[in-house]
Amino acid sequence: MVEDLRLDSLEGVGPVTTRKLSDAGVHNVMDLIVRGPVEIAEITGMEKDTAEKIVNKARQHLVETGLISKDFVTATEVYKRRQDIGKISTGTNCLDTLFDGGVETQALTEVYGEFGSGKTQFAHTLAVMVQKPKAEGGLDGGVLYIDTENTFRPERIVSIAQAHEMDPEKVLDRIIVARAYNSAHQTLILEEAGPVIEENNVKLIVVDSAVGLFRAEYLGRGTLSNRQQKLNHFVHMLSRIAETYNCAALATNQVMASPDVFFGDPTRPIGGNVVAHTSTYRIYFKKSGKKRIARMVDSPHHPEEEVIFGLGEAGVIDPEDTEKKVAKKPAKKLSKKEKESEPEPEIIVSSTELQMVEPTEDADSDDLMSLEE
């Protein structure tokens, strides 16, 4: 561990407090900031005042060592801090355009969309791309992949790595996979993630899916606010980790695309909204035949726009690459006539159509807002 981050490097924190903290899963100074005083008091049984003092000291310490910014800073300093933001190329021109270069560190990016829209493929692709050197669009970093749906596939990592001319074995080695079995476990994994992030120079945290387990466990309206609170806690922790450790956080969220189900089901993706209020970027993925559409829904500085992408052996790909590959495969020779009559793939989706299936504020929204930090 970096010497500066040891708990006992804080003045007034001795072996007893260090022990108390690490028993509660708080292993370094960063963890103190990520968890915050209220939670530190709760999990250690410390007085709230004491916890506040320790967290303030931690903050001061990190400011002094230059790891985080001061409470009051000039815009120049904010600008400088933003210069540290890294971008992970998606390996495609189309999505890189949408993301203005790539998926950012110090931010939470939420990708939501229906089943099969490519969220997991996108996560796999980024898990490979982040490992590339900076000159090639990566951050030369490791990955923490929190898999809640058992959809992480090392085989996919191997093919994506090969497609990008990387050594698959090395790539696999730099992805730490944590399989979460229930929402409490998912939260615990994140709470304990600090040392893993540090030791493996993690630059990308994937949570695929962030909301699924919460949604499955807390069914019905009675438990709604409880679920929102827990989910809020998780999502805020995720975004604080991204900021503190200067890494990118990618959270996926499955939503229903069918308007029927959408409006008829009272347990509709409420989680989507919670994540929405916290994420820095929200991207909506939509199926359109074989193609996929990605739309930047919510961003402090990107225009709202959409691009078409494809899915292939290389993970997410540029749409023209699908065509190239299809064209290369001489599976069946078409006569000239057949060729002419071959229909173009359907890729026409209007923004209005996207708007329709996008999660809208619903009756539960008020509960959600009041739970915001």
Ligand X SMILES: Nc1ncnc2c1ncn2[C@@H]1O[C@H](COP(=O)(O)OP(=O)(O)O)[C@@H](O)[C@H]1O
- Looking from the CA of 220 toward its CB, the CA atoms found within 13 Å total 2
Q: Which range of residues in 2-10, 148-156, 157-165, 340-348 is near Mg ion by CB under 5 A?
A: 148-156
Sheet with 306-312, side-by-side order of all strands: 175-179, 142-147, 202-208, 248-254, 107-113, 281-288, 291-298, 306-312, 315-317
Partner from ligand X, Mg ion, none binding residue 35, C-beta < 5-8 Å depending on class: none
Q: Which range of residues in 18-26, 115-123, 137-145, 168-176 is near Mg ion by CB under 5 A?
A: 115-123
120 binds Mg ion per the rule CB under 5 A: yes
When binding is defined by CB under 6 A, the residue of 25, 36, 101, 116 that contacts ligand X is 116
Cβ contact 313:146 at 8 Å? no
Give the three-class secondary structure for 108.
Answer: strand
Partner from Mg ion, ligand X, none binding residue 269, C-beta < 5-8 Å depending on class: none
Distance CA(158)–CA(167), nearest Å, equals 8
Interactions with ligand X, residue window 302-361 (CB under 6 A): 311-313
CA distances from 85 to 32, 88, 125, 126, 297 (A): 22, 10, 20, 16, 21
Closest separation in Å from C-beta 123 to Mg ion: 8
Q: Map tokens 């991204």 to a residue.
A: 242
Please state the separation of Cα 178 from the chain's center in Å: 14
Q: Which is nearer to ligand X, 27 or 124 (CB)?
A: 124
Q: Which is nearer to ligand X, 102 or 113 (CB)?
A: 113
Interactions with ligand X, residue window 117-146 (CB under 6 A): 117-121
Interactions with ligand X, residue window 254-313 (CB under 6 A): 311-313
Q: Which range of residues in 81-89, 114-122, 174-182, 226-234 is near ligand X by CB under 6 A?
A: 114-122
Which run of H or E residues covers position 362?
none
Closest separation in Å from C-beta 92 to ligand X: 14
Residue numbers of the site for ligand X (CB under 6 A)?
Answer: 113, 115-121, 311-313
